[in-house]
């Protein structure tokens, strides 16, 4: 068994905390999402949907809180998708050479950087939950301390698996393409449908059937739903719709994300195996 992924992780974290500009932007990014997008959108949505009748007897969730889960998902999606970009530069400037020439299996590189992506995602998730609380995002409403803790752990688990999946995807692209521009356009192309065919920011109920169907398989939907299961409860209404999440649902979200991450892991390992020094 190899533990050298810890060395790779150490190196990533040293550099993460060293670059004040990237550190700052990764900390400020979730706050911006919430402050600008979240507040602006929720104000107008709440106005539009205030006329819709709520299901009686079911806790009603305001739009900001509903969307908060999606904002975590979006934020983590973008940072992990672009997380592989550093690999591309490492490859371009031969930084990978040293590690690739060492006796350690290449999976250590993937896991080490993956772990650093998870760390960054956790920091961002934490910021959104805390800052969200300050501006009126009502996560964990009516939970006691144990319930809150369990929910936080659940959310972080989901975020971790999701981040690994998308980092592996982005790492596979980074190790395959040669130009940062090429990577940029592939990522943009990928993130568009992920972004829109999901229920991260609004319910998919009124989508055309095809999109609705596709959205079920979107990891972003799985993560948003999973976070809502933990943060909003299993039974709530929002914007006139009534949502119930069962244990079967949350199990499916976990399984779906794990499956996605494993598929991406095998792809990234296959791509790494092809890298010539």
Partner 1 sequence: MTTNVIEVNNLEHKYNDLKAVDDISFTVKKGEIFSFLGPNGAGKSTVINVLTTLRKIQKGEAKVNGYNVAKESKEVRRSIGIVFQMMCIDYEMTVFENLEYHGKIYSMPKNERRNRINELIKLTELEAKRNTLAKDLSGGMKRRLELARGLMTKPAVLFLDEPTVGFDIQTRMRIWEYLRKIKREGTTIFLTTHYMEEADQLSDRISIIDHGKIIATGSVLDLKNQLGEDLIYLETSDNKAAAGVLKTLESVKGVNEDTKFLRVMLEGDVTHILPKIMDKVRQNGIEITTVNIKKPSMDDVFIHYTGHGLRGEELEEQHENIKIAEVLK
* Interface residue list for partner 1 (CB under 8 A): 3-4, 6-8, 10-11, 14-15, 18-19, 93-95, 97-104, 108, 276-277
Cα distance between residue 161 and residue 118, in whole Å: 8
Nearer to partner 1, 14 or 150 (CB): 14
Residue of 260, 52, 20, 59 lying closest to 140 (CA atoms): 59
Q: Is 114 exposed, middle or buried (0-12, 13-18, 19+ CB in 10 A)?
A: buried
Alpha carbon separation from 213 to 174, 197, 200, 238, 256 (Å, rounded): 30, 9, 15, 21, 15
CB of 238 to partner 1, least distance (A): 45
Residue 198 DSSP code = S
Nearer to partner 1, 7 or 41 (CB): 7
CB of 276 to partner 1, least distance (A): 8
Which pairing describes strands 241-244 and 235-238: parallel, antiparallel, or unpaired?
antiparallel
Nearer to partner 1, 87 or 161 (CB): 87
CB of 187 to partner 1, least distance (A): 23
CB atoms within 10 A of CB 229: 22
The SS3 call for residue 252 is helix
Nearer to partner 1, 94 or 251 (CB): 94
CB of 18 to partner 1, least distance (A): 7
Nearer to partner 1, 15 or 141 (CB): 15
CB of 36 to partner 1, least distance (A): 31
Q: Is 259 exposed, middle or buried (0-12, 13-18, 19+ CB in 10 A)?
A: middle
Nearer to partner 1, 97 or 133 (CB): 97
CB of 89 to partner 1, least distance (A): 10
């Amino acid at each position: 068994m190899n533990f050298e992924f810890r060395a790779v992780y150490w190196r990533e974290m040293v550099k993460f905390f060293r670059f004040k500009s990237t550190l700052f932007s990764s900390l400020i990014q979730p706050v911006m999402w919430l402050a600008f997008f979240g507040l602006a959108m929720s104000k107008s949505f709440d106005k539009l949907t205030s006329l819709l009748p709520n299901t009686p007897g079911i806790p009603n969730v305001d739009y900001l809180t509903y969307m908060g889960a999606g904002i975590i998902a979006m934020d983590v999606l973008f940072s992990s998708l672009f997380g592989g970009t550093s690999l591309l530069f490492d490859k371009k400037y031969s930084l990978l050479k040293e590690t690739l020439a060492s006796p350690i299996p290449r999976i250590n590189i993937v896991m080490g950087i993956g772990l650093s992506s998870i760390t960054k995602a956790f920091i961002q998730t934490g910021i959104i939950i805390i800052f969200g609380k300050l501006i009126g995002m009502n996560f964990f409403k009516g939970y006691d301390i144990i319930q809150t803790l369990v929910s936080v752990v659940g959310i972080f688990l989901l975020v971790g698996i999701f981040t690994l999946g998308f980092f592996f995807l982005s790492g596979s692209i980074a190790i395959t393409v040669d130009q940062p521009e090429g990577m940029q356009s592939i990522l943009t192309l990928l993130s568009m449908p992920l972004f829109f065919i999901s229920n991260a920011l609004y319910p998919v109920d009124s989508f055309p059937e095809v999109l609705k169907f596709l959205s079920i398989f979107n990891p972003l939907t799985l993560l948003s739903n999973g976070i809502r299961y933990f943060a909003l409860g299993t039974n709530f209404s929002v914007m006139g719709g009534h949502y119930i999440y069962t244990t079967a649902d949350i199990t499916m979200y976990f399984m779906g994300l794990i499956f996605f991450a494993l598929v991406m892991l095998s792809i990234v390992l296959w791509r790494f195996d092809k890298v010539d020094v």
